[in-house]
Amino acid sequence: MTNQAAAQRVSVIGLGAMGTALAKALLAGGHEVTVWNRTPARAEALVADGARVATSSAEALTAADLLIVCVLDDAAVREHLEPVAARLRGRTVVNLTTTTPEQARSSGRWARAAGVELIDGGIMAIPDMIGGPGAFVLYSGAGAAFARYRSVLELFGAAEFVGEDLGAAAMYDVSILGGMYAMFAAFHQGGAMVRTTGGTAARLAELMTPFLQAMATTLTAQAPGIDTPAEYVQPQSDEFTAAAIDLIDKSAAESGNPTELYGGLRRTLVGR
Ligand code: FVH
């Protein structure tokens, strides 16, 4: 990835697997990076790459204009940011810690009161992917700050701004992950089902993968059914979809497998 951002002073708070990858991407991009981690040993490896190590979170949080926070959870974020809120006025915080949408909005309330520009982010990548072509990160919140720092944030992967509502990035994030887990659950259930016929999950994977890839390309065409339902003519009737799901449910029951997955799918897709 090429990135021509002017060198910025950036602090990274949290050097777990993901925070370390983010700090490395910033250093590789030529930025002046201060890092802090609760367990100091994790920061040492980054010194050789050019990072400066802060001795406290407060020091790191006041050492730069752009603050990247990537710790375990919302409680850890608050533990370190709220005590120094008064010293963060005018700075931009990009919180890449996974939170719920409501936690992100709640952080927005203290940030507004403190004069901090807050951007919430959802990372759609694992640490090894950071800075590579497949990685993307969802952002929401302070749009002007996002525009200002976009080229820095693009060092992590493609930067997708999804709205000024601070909860938006987290909501897109959990929705995408929900799609992934629904697919995994259906594969695990299907694997158990085909094994009752002498088949294998490995063979199912071979056959299911290209079919699901093709089905994924229909999501955009289905979106108006959710966004503007009054104008949408669905290609398959609810009766057809309900009957198809009932057939899967019956096949699961006949093979001695659980059926709760399909009841939920049916209620979501056809409302009953
Ligand atoms: N790793 C991934 O694939 C996912 C991709 C999607 C986004 N997540 C989220 O990123 C956050 C950090 O994840 P991580 O992979 O870096 O997690 P760990 O390697 O377990 O590191 C956790 C760091 O959090 C620090 N920490 C925990 N509690 C506190 C606290 N109370 N105060 C300060 N820091 C805290 C921990 O410090 P230490 O244990 O080394 O002292 C690590 O730096 C996370 O929200 C994922 O959901 C990653």
Regarding the beta carbon of 37 and ligand 1, being less than 6 Å apart is answered: yes
Instruction: Compute the distance from residue 1 Cα to the ligand 1 centre, in Å.
Output: 25
Per-residue pLDDT tens digits for 69-101: 999 999 999 999 999 999 999 999 999 999 999
Question: Any bridge partners for residue 124, and if so which?
Answer: 136
Instruction: Compute the distance from residue 238 Cα to the ligand 1 centre, in Å.
Output: 43
Regarding the beta carbon of 121 and ligand 1, being less than 6 Å apart is answered: no
Regarding the beta carbon of 78 and ligand 1, being less than 6 Å apart is answered: no
d(CA 23, CA 18): 9
For residues 124 and 136, the answer to whether their CB atoms sit within 8 Å is yes
For residues 1 and 131, the answer to whether their CB atoms sit within 8 Å is yes
β-strands 32-36, 92-95: how paired? unpaired
Residue 221 Rama label (left phi>0; alpha psi -120 to 50; beta): alpha
Level-2 CATH architecture, domain 172-270: Orthogonal Bundle (1.10)
Q: Which atom of ligand 1 is nearest to the CA of 126?
A: 3
Q: Which CATH class is domain 9-165?
A: alpha beta
What separation in angstroms does the CA of 224 have from each of 163, 221, 227, 239?
19, 7, 5, 20
Per-residue pLDDT tens digits for 178-225: 999 999 999 999 999 999 999 999 999 999 999 999 999 999 999 999
Break the chain into its structural domains and give their ranges. Answer: 9-165, 172-270
pTM assigned to the model? 0.93
Structure tokens at 114: 């403190």
Regarding the beta carbon of 18 and ligand 1, being less than 6 Å apart is answered: yes
